[in-house]
């Protein structure tokens, strides 16, 4: 994973909010909510004064294209190296992003620029928001089950700061302004071989009649993020769905060895801990991502997974769950075990180590 070089601390976020949105009736509540997120810092692709300005939707989308092409190749190369693969070994590229729009998808540019085969399949996912990282893993799992010796590259490019709207002053908008950060991440799912999470079962679930709880209003000025105040409470109906997925697989959701969960905010993790009867410490990787980078949308699960790899204490055969939540309200979930490389075993579909490249800020 890679995060941009420009950093905004919590203290700076509060200062900017008080200056830019001074006099707005919702500001005092928004400031308290932002302080309660636990986000210590975030990274953005532009200096803060440029981030706070709005040059127009066309210019912002141009910046998205430039920055995505600049930042994706390095993390892709590292992810392929981690999986001991070359670009020509990849059979499908899944590109996920909800913060800019390109047609053709960036997948076409990657194929033309980085040595991927011309017959590499492309699967862009644009409208699942924060759930897209988990959805990409699930679709990669499905693909490798259909084509057991295949390799799938997942790329997440979320430049959330390019969606900042200075004129939006609703609670949901102000809270998101203090919560979301920018990041680019990549990971490889292999049909055989590799070290990592062995994907064994996946599922998707949409909470009925919640489609307008997380959404974009697309206007002349671009994407306007809309967040319903009921969203933080969605873990109560989703916890039984996660529990059922584990139960069907023969496991107890409250007694697994690792948990990779989307960190949409602290309440999401607190509620899941309570409803699943899971120890607070079990979500340490997701909490660390939230604290250090904020909500980086679809890249959260890849960064939390990276932290699990780096911790290096998961025993072979350890059981775990991976889950992301986003617009819909949609949950994308998978369960699997941890394994060390067993070459040639096509029955074990591995989610290999994601890349992680953090700039030196010294």
Domain span at residue 102 reads: 6-190
Catalytic residue from among 72, 130, 160, 163: 130
Is 261 a domain residue?
yes
25 and 167 both lie in a single domain: yes
120 and 251 both lie in a single domain: no
Is 164 a domain residue?
yes
H or E segment at 325?
Answer: strand 319-326
218 and 346 both lie in a single domain: yes
Is 28 a domain residue?
yes
Domain limit, last residue, from 160, 190, 220 = 190
Q: Is the pLDDT of residue 361 over 50?
A: no
Q: Tell which residue, 147, 151, 200, 146, has the closest CA to residue 319.
A: 200
Work out the burial of residue 54: count CB atoms within 10 Å of its CB; fewer than 13 is exposed, 13-18 middle, 19 or more buried: middle
**pLDDT (mean) for 3-14:** 95
Q: Is the pLDDT of residue 266 over 50?
A: yes
Q: Tell which residue, 35, 36, 112, has the closest CA to residue 69.
A: 112
113 and 221 both lie in a single domain: no
Q: What is the pLDDT of residues 276-309, one digit of tens each?
A: 999 999 999 999 999 999 999 999 999 999 999 9
Asked if 98 is an active-site residue, the reply is no
Is 362 a domain residue?
no
Domain count, the chain: 2
Is 357 a domain residue?
no
What's the token pair of residue 286? 């997701």
Q: What is the pLDDT of residues 155-213, one digit of tens each?
A: 999 999 999 999 888 888 888 889 999 999 999 999 988 889 999 999 999 999 999 99
Model confidence, pTM:
0.93
36 and 184 both lie in a single domain: yes
Is 185 a domain residue?
yes
349 with 190: CB under 8 angstroms? yes
169 and 204 both lie in a single domain: no
CATH code for the domain of 287: 3.40.47.10
Q: Is the pLDDT of residue 78 over 60?
A: yes
Is 360 a domain residue?
no
In the chain, which residue ranges form alpha helices assigned H by DSSP? 10-20, 27-35, 48-52, 57-82, 106-114, 132-146, 171-177, 235-248, 266-275, 284-293, 300-311
């Amino acid at each position: 994973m890679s995060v941009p070089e420009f950093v905004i601390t919590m203290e700076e976020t509060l200062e900017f909010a008080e200056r830019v949105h001074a006099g707005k009736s919702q500001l005092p509540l928004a400031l308290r909510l932002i302080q309660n997120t636990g986000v210590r810092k975030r990274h953005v692709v532009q200096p803060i004064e440029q981030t706070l300005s709005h040059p127009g939707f066309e210019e912002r989308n141009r910046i998205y294209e430039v920055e995505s092409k600049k930042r994706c190749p390095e993390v892709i190369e590292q992810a392929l190296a981690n999986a001991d693969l070359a670009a020509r070994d990849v059979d499908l590229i899944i590109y996920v992003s909800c913060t800019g729009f390109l047609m053709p998808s960036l997948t076409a540019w990657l194929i033309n620029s980085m040595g991927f085969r011309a017959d590499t399949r492309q699967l862009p996912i644009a409208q699942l928001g924060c759930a897209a990282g988990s959805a990409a893993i699930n679709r990669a799992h499905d693909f490798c089950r259909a084509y057991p010796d295949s390799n799938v590259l997942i790329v997440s490019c979320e430049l959330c700061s390019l969606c900042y709207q200075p004129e939006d002053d609703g609670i949901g908008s102000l809270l998101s302004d203090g919560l979301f950060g920018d990041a680019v991440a990549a990971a490889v799912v292999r049909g055989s071989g590799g070290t990592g999470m062995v994907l064994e079962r996946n599922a998707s679930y949409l909470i009925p009649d919640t489609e307008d709880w997380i959404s974009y209003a697309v206007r002349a000025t671009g994407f306007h993020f809309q967040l319903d105040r009921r969203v933080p409470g969605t873990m109560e109906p989703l916890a039984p769905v996660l529990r059922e997925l584990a139960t069907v697989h023969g496991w107890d959701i409250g007694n697994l060895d690792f948990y990779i969960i989307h960190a949409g905010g602290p309440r999401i993790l607190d509620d899941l801990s309570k409803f699943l009867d899971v120890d607070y410490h079990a979500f340490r990787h997701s909490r660390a991502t939230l604290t250090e980078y904020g909500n980086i949308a679809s890249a959260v699960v890849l960064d939390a997974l990276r932290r699990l790899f780096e911790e290096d204490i998961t025993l072979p055969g350890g059981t775990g769950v991976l889950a992301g939540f986003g617009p819909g309200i949609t949950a994308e979930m998978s369960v699997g075990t941890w394994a060390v490389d067993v070459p040639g075993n096509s029955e074990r579909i591995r989610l290999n180590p994601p890349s992680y490249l953090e700039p030196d800020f010294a």
